[in-house]
Amino acid sequence: MMLEGKKILLGVCGSIASYKSATLTRLLVKAGANVKVIMTKDASHFVSPLTFSTLSKSPVLSSYFKEDTGEWNSHVELGLWADLMLIAPASANTIAKFAHGICDNLLTATYLSAKCPIYFAPAMDLDMWQHPSTKQNVAILGNYGNIQINPGYGELASGLTGEGRMAEPEDIIRFLETSLSTSLPLSGKRALVTAGPTYEAIDPVRFIGNHSSGKMGFAIAEELAKQGADVTLISGPSALELKGKRIRRINVISSDEMAEAVEKHFPESNIAVMSAAVADYKPKYVSTEKIKKDSSEFGMELVKTTDILARAGQMKQAGQILIGFALETQNEEANAIKKLEKKNLDFIVLNSLNDEGAGFKGDTNKITIIDRYLNTERFPLKTKEDVAIDICKKITGLI
């Protein structure tokens, strides 16, 4: 979901519609958002701050100072903290203050400090909504770049029927998700990511494998999804769980299974990041029974596995972006460049086992990105989540 992990400031104004904001808070939290609620003084007459603090799992903010400690609730820090600010309900009074820069409470001060996208859901009676001053103030907010969530039509608190009802909480959630998804750099793009090891069977209980955990590939899949891509993750054996609910996961075991899955899904992908540590060789013959330990020596004939990255490079069409990985121990950059050119990649991500903190299983990595024009960018040791951000920035640059 697009709201997962988002830091959201929810402003609640004095309005009978503020009861809907309690449901809205619950839905935002359910969607995975981190919510902080700012209430105006009048809003607390309609719904108790305790309701919002319980639903948001965070103290409600309503004044410049915390009453119990006297500490300052910094509107500047709040404005910088948020990924988006949502005012629901937005009363005619608060809309007018926003439009004309009146800063007489914590909500209006935070609004003026916010650097994030701002959404507002008006709620007022029919005559107030239709008044020329309200229309002018709403237009001003639109010119500021604020995004209006249109009010609904129906029975109002006065008994009149018409426009002015705050949009329903479920509709607001859908509006936000649609707005966020279409504004992301990879919106509408389909991405394929491979991750983890492959296990090549020797007999029913033994296999040839490697130490890959899949952490790097999983982090890349998560970041691509955050940037709006529709992600398919093909994962070898891994105990990792995905956080993003919008990622489709396909579990495989062997290199043959991974090759088959890539062959199926690569043609429909705009972006493919091949980060899996695929076995280079597999047993030529697989025993149907467990091999007994009858002698002090044991021989096995191996054959090459399908070169999945090379096959993708052959299948690649104009407009597709293909990224490979190179884990090296010697002549790192020369070997990476050879792989980059041979396999028709747009760029290659190089990491070396000689770098402390890089490689399999750990939570950090140190990479160098080399593109098809041999431009080289070296990065310091970072968490794999931050490395994924660097890789995805490079991808969005190519897009």
**Annotated binding-site residue? 135:** no
Kindly report, residue by residue over 356-386, the tens digit of the pLDDT. 666 666 788 899 999 999 999 999 999 999 9
Known binder of ligand: residue 280?
yes
Q: Per this entry, what is the length of the chain?
A: 399
Global pTM value? 0.69
Residue 157 or 355, more confident: 157
Digit-coded pLDDT (tens) for 224-256:
998 889 999 999 999 899 986 679 999 999 999
H-state helical runs in 203-249: 215-226
Query: Which pair of tokens denotes residue 329?
Result: 């121990």
Please compute the mean of the pLDDT values over residues 66-82 and round it to a whole number.
79
CB under 8 Å to 11, separation ≥6 — which residues? 37, 38, 39, 40, 85, 86, 87, 88, 90, 94, 107, 110, 111
pLDDT tens per residue across span 197-230: 999 999 999 999 988 999 999 999 999 998 889 9
- Look at 125 and 354; give whichever has higher pLDDT: 125
* The CA-based dihedral angle spanning residues 184, 186, 189, 195, taken in that order and rounded to the nearest 10 degrees: -120
At residue 73, the pLDDT reads 77
| Cα separation, 398 vs 376, whole angstroms | 15
Fold of domain 7-183 = Rossmann fold (3.40.50)
* 290 is an annotated ligand-binding site residue: yes
Tally Cβ neighbours within 10 Å of residue 30. Answer: 12
Phi-psi region of 253 (alpha: psi -120 to 50; beta: other; left: phi over 0): alpha
Helices (H) and strands (E) in the chain, counts: 13, 21
Token reading at 399: 């897009």
- Both tokens of 52, joined, read 């919002």
Residues of the chain with CATH 3.40.50.10300: 190-288+298-398
Is 298 labeled as ligand-binding? Answer: no
Residue 393 among known ligand-binding residues: no
Cα-to-chain-centroid distance, residue 269:
18
Q: What is the pLDDT of residue 68?
A: 64
Question: At residue 223, what is the residue type?
Answer: E
Can you give 26-52 as a three-state secondary structure string?
HHHHHCCCEEEEEECCHHHHCCCHHHH
Q: What CATH topology corresponds to 190-288+298-398? A: Rossmann fold (3.40.50)
The residues annotated as belonging to the active site are 210
